Structures are given as structure tokens and as C-alpha cells.
């Protein structure tokens, strides 16, 4: 007789709601005529909102009953998981809304793009919740394959097809590394369960190079995860893919993709390999420093805004890696909370930024060079103002959420006496401020050039307007009153072990 595992339906209901809802939208959408303007997006956002409500209920439940691992220890439901779930769900809703008029403008209207968003979000949520490497790998693949398709989804732009193929080939390669890493770690530890691997490794004593297999596995796992978070030197795909992909898909990659990959990285490194932190911490240190420096310096020399933001996202990944590095010090209480905080704040920021970029690239999604922003301050002052807020926040300006994010990771590094990385990060942050200033100058201070009148006007549909407004409000509120968010991230320290 097969022993069926007991299933905690409430705990997996956010996933069930999202999957069931999006399949319903897909099937009904395929059988009916094109829905009225924006309805696909609004229904997807409504699904996200429904999932968000359940996640809030779960957040309270975990607060009362403590973290649990469900369905034969495959998924871990703790506040770490739920924090990422909440972030991913919010990001999915926002990106769906910002996609609504984009698809209409580019004549690509249909429900499939939203299904891809939601399926990718489910993959991301599984990655964050996975308590087993096999489940983690499946979540990673669900997320990645949906992202490859999204990158290639603009059928009329060759750039989009090219970026999809590049991402697919390199991403498949990285997944293979990751899978091999899982196999070697399994060989060394004897289990794919993350919490159990952590327990075993904390008791096991390796003698005489017996741990070479484990270390090789950890190295391969790091390659796979560093590729997904776009850390230097595994970042080469990022500029091309970010530039070529449809702009809303780029914002989805930069928010949900990073959130999931970092969540997986944090769980694997701190829970499964926490006992071996001295082995992986130097690797993360190098990745962090290389990403901050290369991301900031190369961002400055770009002339295409989407490429600039791609390099800046590499730099931001470096900052989050500083938090991951801090989490590798014994007895650290700041690393995981600061990384999670950075991820949430950056996701909202990057969605806001790319929503403005989506509007500015105009029909055809091609005008992403910095000249396209010329005169935006005169033409659409409110939109330019919102973009200014996002750029200042990304630069780490006080009163915005970006300052809180950068401050928290650098504080975590300094508390663990990683002064070198803290100083390098601050210098790089100053360098990258130059890039954000360049876009601002182009928006507000550049003189109009001949031919500017002939350009298409920048239209602001209400769905994109809502996303921009929500992102601005969140950026400022989180920048002025960060206390409640910091408290929430502190709760995420109690995980399934």
C-alpha cells in the first residue's frame, strides 16, 4: 500500500489559486474573442491579489504556529518563504498591469503572456519554498523556461528572438551545471532534502579530503545560481537579453527572476550548507565585489537605457550578494533580512523604472537609446518626475527606499567586519550614480534636436500609470518609514531546519 503524504492545502493554496486561475483565463481566453482592453491584465492582477490575501493569512498562521515543512518535507512554509511569495506576487501583479497596453500597442494581445508570467511566478515561489533540491530544480526550470519564452515573445522584433535564443542556450548550460552540483552534493551527503542535508553536514566530520565531492558540488551549484542572479563573471547574457526582450518581460526578469534566484541561493547556502559557510563565503565575496565594480563601471559607458539598467541590475545583484556574504558569518542576524529587504525594494523600483522605459520606447519597442528620453521633462513632466524618483532611489539617495536597501546590506557587512567589501560597494555606488544622472539630464536638461517634433508622443495609459504611481508611493513610503518592513524581514530569520 502506498503511503500518501498528507497535504496542507491552505499552505499551497497561493500556488493553486495562481495556477488554476491563469489556466482558466488561458482556456476561456482561447475560446472567446479578444477580451476588452486590459481585461487579461486586470484578471491576472486580481489573481495575484487573491493569492496575496492567502499569503497574508499564512503569514499570521506561521507567526502563531511556527514554520512547518509540508508534503513529505518537500516544501518549507516559513516567513522566509512567505516574504518571497508576497514579493513575487506583488511583482507579478504590477508587471501584468504594466504589460496591458504594451501588448495592445505592439499588436500582440492575448492571454498567453500573462499565463507565462504566472507560471514563472509559480516556479519562483517553488524555488523560494523548496526544501528539497529536486523540487528546487523543477522550480528553477519552470521559471527559466517561461523567461526564455517571454524574452523571445515579441514576434516582430529580431532582437527579441535573438535574446530569447541566447538566454535559452546559456540558461540551459547553467541549469546543467546546477543539476550536476545537486548530484554531487547528493553523493556526498546522501540526501536531496535541504534541511536534512544541513543537519547531516553539521554533525559529519570529514577527514583527509573526503569532502572534495561536496566542495565540487557546492562549486557547481554556485555557478548555476550565480548565472541566474547575473553575478559577474556569469553575467554576459544580461545586457543582450535585457535589451532584446520586450521591456515588460525585462522588468519581470529583473524583479521576479532575481527574487527567486536569491531566495534559492540563501536557502541552499544558509540552511543546507550553513555548516560549510567558511568554504562558500569567500566565493560569494569575490562574486559580490566583481559584480558591484563591473556593474557600476560598465553601466556608465552604455548609450542604451535598457543596457544601462541591465548593468545596473548586475551592480544591484552585487549589493544583494554582500548581504548573502554577511549571512555566512557565524551568528549573523543581519545578512538574510538585509538581502530580502533589498530584493523587495529593488523589485518595486525596477518595475517602476522599466514601466517608464516601456512607455518611452514607443511603438515597436525600439527607442531605448538615451536620446529617446530627451525632452520627456517638458512633454510628460509627471512621468519624468516619477522616473527621477526611481533613478535617485536606485542611486541610493536618502528618503527613498534605495537608501534603506543599500544602507541595510552595508550595515550587515560592517557588523561582520567585512569592511573592504563595504567600502568598495560605497565607491561603486558613487560611480553608478553618474549613470542615473545621465538619464536625468537627458530628461530634464537636454535641448530639443531637429526631428524631435516628428517623434511619436509618449502615451501614458491608465494601467501603466497605476503601476508607476504605486511604485513611486511605495518607494517614498518605504524610504521614510522603513521600520515595518525591517521588522518583517527580521521575522524571516526563523526558517525550517
The answer to whether the beta carbons of residues 79 and 267 sit under 8 Å apart is no
For residues 41-100, which are near another protein according to CB under 8 A? 71-72, 74-75
C-alpha gyration radius of the chain: 22
Output the CA–CA distances (angstroms, integers) from residue 398 to 404, 475, 484, in the order listed: 8, 11, 18
- Kindly state the smallest distance separating residue 173's Cβ from another protein, in Å: 12
Complete DSSP assignment for 280-315: HHHHHHHHHHHHHHHHHHHHHT--BHHHHHHHHHHH
Q: Which residues touch 52 (CB under 8 Å, ≥6 apart)?
A: 86, 89, 90, 93
- Kindly state the smallest distance separating residue 324's Cβ from another protein, in Å: 24
Grid cell locating 152 = 523571445
Closest CA to 308 of 382, 375, 395, 233: 395
Does residue 19 bind another protein (CB under 8 A)? yes
Residue 149 vs 314, nearer CB to another protein: 149
> How big is the chain, counted in residues?
497
Does residue 378 bind another protein (CB under 8 A)? no
- Kindly state the smallest distance separating residue 393's Cβ from another protein, in Å: 33
Residue 362 vs 411, nearer CB to another protein: 362
Complete DSSP assignment for 264-279: HHHIIIIIISGGGHHH
Does residue 412 bind another protein (CB under 8 A)? no
Q: How many CB atoms lie within 10 A of CB 157?
A: 18
Q: Which residues touch 301 (CB under 8 Å, ≥6 apart)?
A: none
Range in contact with another protein (rule: CB under 8 A) among 138-146, 245-253, 278-286, 483-491: 138-146
- Kindly state the smallest distance separating residue 193's Cβ from another protein, in Å: 8
Range in contact with another protein (rule: CB under 8 A) among 90-98, 145-153, 429-437, 479-487: 145-153
Residue 165 vs 399, nearer CB to another protein: 165
- Kindly state the smallest distance separating residue 93's Cβ from another protein, in Å: 19
Alpha-carbon span 85 to 484, nearest angstrom: 17
- Kindly state the smallest distance separating residue 457's Cβ from another protein, in Å: 17
The answer to whether the beta carbons of residues 211 and 297 sit under 8 Å apart is no
Residue 121 vs 440, nearer CB to another protein: 121
Among 4, 32, 331, 450, binds another protein (CB under 8 A): 4
Grid cell locating 62 = 506561521
Output the CA–CA distances (angstroms, integers) from residue 382 to 190, 469, 479, in the order listed: 58, 10, 20
Residue 263 vs 472, nearer CB to another protein: 263
Grid cell locating 259 = 527574487
Q: How many CB atoms lie within 10 A of CB 420?
A: 11
Does residue 11 bind another protein (CB under 8 A)? no
Alpha-carbon span 289 to 453, nearest angstrom: 44
Among 10, 216, 277, 297, binds another protein (CB under 8 A): 216
Alpha-carbon span 283 to 415, nearest angstrom: 19
Among 153, 296, 429, 463, binds another protein (CB under 8 A): 153
Does residue 101 bind another protein (CB under 8 A)? no
Does residue 398 bind another protein (CB under 8 A)? no
Residue 215 vs 476, nearer CB to another protein: 215
Range in contact with another protein (rule: CB under 8 A) among 197-205, 230-238, 247-255, 446-454: 197-205
Alpha-carbon span 74 to 370, nearest angstrom: 47
Alpha-carbon span 246 to 74, nearest angstrom: 34
Residue 62 vs 116, nearer CB to another protein: 116
Half-sphere exposure of 409 (CA within 13 A, CB side): 32
Grid cell locating 478 = 518605504
Among 13, 204, 333, 446, binds another protein (CB under 8 A): 204
> By rule CB under 8 A, what string of x and - marks binding of each residue 157-196 to another protein?
-------x---------------x---x--xxxxx-x--x
- Kindly state the smallest distance separating residue 444's Cβ from another protein, in Å: 32
- Helices vs strands, H then E, count in the chain: 20, 2
Among 156, 382, 426, 434, binds another protein (CB under 8 A): 156
Residue 69 vs 400, nearer CB to another protein: 69
Does residue 13 bind another protein (CB under 8 A)? no
> By rule CB under 8 A, what string of x and - marks binding of each residue 274-293 to another protein?
--------------------
Alpha-carbon span 385 to 399, nearest angstrom: 15
Does residue 113 bind another protein (CB under 8 A)? yes
The answer to whether the beta carbons of residues 313 and 337 sit under 8 Å apart is no
Q: Binding residues for another protein, how many (CB under 8 A)?
A: 61
The answer to whether the beta carbons of residues 389 and 475 sit under 8 Å apart is yes
Residue 170 vs 431, nearer CB to another protein: 170
Residue ranges that bind another protein, judged by CB under 8 A: 2-5, 19, 23, 26, 71-72, 74-75, 106-107, 112-113, 115-116, 119-120, 122-123, 126, 132, 134-135, 138-139, 141-142, 145-146, 148-149, 152-153, 155-156, 164, 180, 184, 187-191, 193, 196-197, 200, 204, 206, 209-216, 363-364
Amino acid at each position: 500500500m502506498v503511503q500518501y503524504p498528507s497535504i496542507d492545502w491552505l499552505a499551497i493554496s497561493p500556488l493553486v489559486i495562481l495556477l488554476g486561475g491563469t489556466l482558466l483565463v488561458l482556456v476561456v481566453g482561447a475560446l472567446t474573442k479578444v477580451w476588452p482592453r486590459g481585461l487579461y491584465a486586470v484578471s491576472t492582477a486580481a489573481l495575484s491579489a487573491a493569492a496575496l490575501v492567502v499569503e497574508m493569512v499564512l503569514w499570521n498562521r506561521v507567526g502563531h504556529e511556527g514554520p512547518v515543512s509540508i508534503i513529505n518535507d518537500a516544501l518549507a512554509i516559513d516567513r522566509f518563504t512567505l516574504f518571497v511569495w508576497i514579493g513575487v506576487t506583488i511583482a507579478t501583479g504590477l508587471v501584468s498591469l504594466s504589460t496591458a497596453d504594451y501588448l495592445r500597442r505592439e499588436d500582440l494581445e492575448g492571454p498567453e503572456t500573462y499565463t507565462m508570467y504566472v507560471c514563472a511566478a509559480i516556479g519562483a515561489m517553488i524555488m523560494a519554498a523548496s526544501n528539497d533540491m529536486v523540487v528546487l530544480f523543477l522550480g528553477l526550470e519552470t521559471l527559466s523556461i517561461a523567461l526564455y519564452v517571454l524574452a523571445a515573445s515579441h514576434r516582430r522584433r529580431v532582437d527579441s528572438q535573438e535574446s530569447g535564443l541566447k538566454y535559452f542556450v546559456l540558461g540551459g548550460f547553467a541549469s546543467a551545471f546546477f543539476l550536476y552540483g545537486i548530484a554531487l552534493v547528493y553523493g556526498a551527503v546522501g540526501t536531496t532534502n535541504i534541511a536534512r542535508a544541513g543537519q547531516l553536514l553539521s554533525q559529519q566530520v570529514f577527514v583527509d579530503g573526503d569532502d572534495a565531492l561536496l566542495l565540487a558540488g557546492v562549486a557547481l551549484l554556485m555557478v548555476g545560481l550565480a548565472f541566474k542572479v547575473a553575478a559577474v563573471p556569469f553575467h554576459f547574457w544580461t545586457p543582450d537579453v535585457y535589451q532584446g526582450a520586450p521591456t515588460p518581460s525585462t522588468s519581470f526578469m529583473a524583479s521576479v527572476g532575481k527574487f527567486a534566484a536569491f531566495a534559492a541561493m540563501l536557502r541552499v547556502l544558509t540552511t543546507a550548507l550553513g555548516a560549510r559557510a567558511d568554504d562558500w563565503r569567500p566565493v560569494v565575496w569575490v562574486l559580490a565585489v566583481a559584480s558591484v565594480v563591473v556593474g557600476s563601471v560598465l553601466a556608465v559607458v552604455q548609450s542604451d537605457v535598457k543596457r544601462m539598467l541591465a548593468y545596473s541590475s548586475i551592480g544591484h545583484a552585487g549589493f544583494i550578494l554582500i548581504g548573502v556574504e554577511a549571512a555566512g558569518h557565524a551568528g549573523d542576524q543581519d545578512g538574510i533580512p538585509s538581502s530580502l529587504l533589498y530584493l523587495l525594494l529593488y523589485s518595486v523600483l525596477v518595475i517602476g523604472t522599466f514601466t517608464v522605459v516601456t512607455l518611452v520606447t514607443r511603438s515597436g519597442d525600439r527607442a531605448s537609446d538615451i536620446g529617446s528620453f530627451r525632452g520627456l521633462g517638458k512633454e510628460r513632466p509627471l512621468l519624468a518626475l516619477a522616473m527621477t524618483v526611481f533613478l535617485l532611489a536606485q542611486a541610493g539617495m536618502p528618503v527613498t527606499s534605495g537608501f534603506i536597501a543599500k544602507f541595510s546590506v552595508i550595515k550587515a557587512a560592517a557588523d561582520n567586519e567585512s569592511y573592504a567589501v563595504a567600502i568598495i560597494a560605497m565607491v561603486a555606488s558613487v560611480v553608478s550614480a553618474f549613470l542615473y544622472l545621465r538619464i536625468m539630464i537627458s530628461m530634464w536638461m537636454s535641448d530639443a534636436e531637429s526631428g524631435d517634433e516628428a517623434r511619436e508622443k509618449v502615451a501614458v495609459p491608465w494601467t501603466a500609470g497605476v503601476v508607476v504611481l504605486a511604485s513611486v508611493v511605495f518607494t517614498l513610503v518605504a524610504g521614510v518609514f522603513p521600520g515595518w518592513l525591517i521588522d518583517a524581514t527580521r521575522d524571516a530569520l526563523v526558517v525550517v531546519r
